[in-house]
Amino acid sequence: MQHFADDIERSVRARDQREEGLVRVASPDGVGSLWVAPRVSTFLERNPRIQLSLDCLIGPAAPDSQARADITIALDKSRAEIGDDTSTLATLHYVLAAAPTYVETYGLPASAASAAGDHRTLRQTGQISQQEVWGKRAIAVASLASFAFETNSSAAMVAALRAGAGVATVPTYLFTLAPELILIGAEPSTPIKLWLIVHREARNAARVQRVAEWLKSIFDTRAHPWFREEFVAPENFGAAQEPKKPVRRSKS
């Protein structure tokens, strides 16, 4: 019954062509807290009449929060329903990394297998998506690892990693936020697709279209090569970047 009421509310709001009002976005925790949230300020400065609600899908209310969203950033394309606008947003490339303080104390693991078997590992419990593309080596390494610390919070995992608590599997965009991290091993990255789903009841609303446009811009692979389908090593980020496209402002 609640989902039906939410659908009606979204349908009514979708008829509004003003670039103002509430837009609900649901996102995986890491992407939402580490990449989207730090860029909200710029969006709000350019779109002062739009209110953003960002749900990072942690806890038992996550399925309901996703059902109420106007836009979903998803690791699973099957979250989309018939009539939704679905497009590839980015590719996340997962690699092993450690902080300099950890490496200075315990040494640099020679490989992913060494990191999993001989070193302290950290685990974000949400890293279970798209295992069909992990590859045999990545699955084997994951099965070998006996974690020293686990959490359902990406922010907590990153804080522990940067403090030298152990070795962790992280998306390469994290190297833009924590450039001191050290890449471990020469194994290929594990690519995970990220999807943008604009739900059918809300997709025609001007404010929803503006937020979707903004989300696409902050994952633009020309300006942010770490989100490209092909792997770009962190040391090559600068050389691979292209100029950013200008972002429109809302009419005041």
6-38 pLDDT tens trace: 555 555 555 566 789 999 999 999 999 999 999
Q: Is the pLDDT of residue 247 over 60?
A: no
For residues 129 and 186, membership in a common domain is answered with yes
Same domain, 83 and 62: yes
Q: Report CA torsion sign: 34, 244, 18, 82.
A: negative
Note whether residue 247 is domain-resident.
no
Do residues 43 and 63 both lie within one domain?
yes
Model confidence pLDDT, tens digit, residues 108-119: 988 777 777 788
| Domain membership flag for residue 73 | yes
Least confident of 24-33, 62-71, 225-234, 235-244: 62-71
Q: Which of 172, 191, 210 is the last residue of a domain?
A: 191
Average per-residue pLDDT for the chain: 83
Structural domains in the chain (count) = 2
For every residue of 36-92, DSSP letters joined together read IGGGHHHHHHH-TTEEEEEE---STTHHHHHHH-SEEEES-GGG--TT-EEEEEEEE
pLDDT (tens digit, 9 = 90+) per residue, 33-87? 999 999 999 999 999 999 999 998 776 545 555 567 999 999 888 878 888 999 9
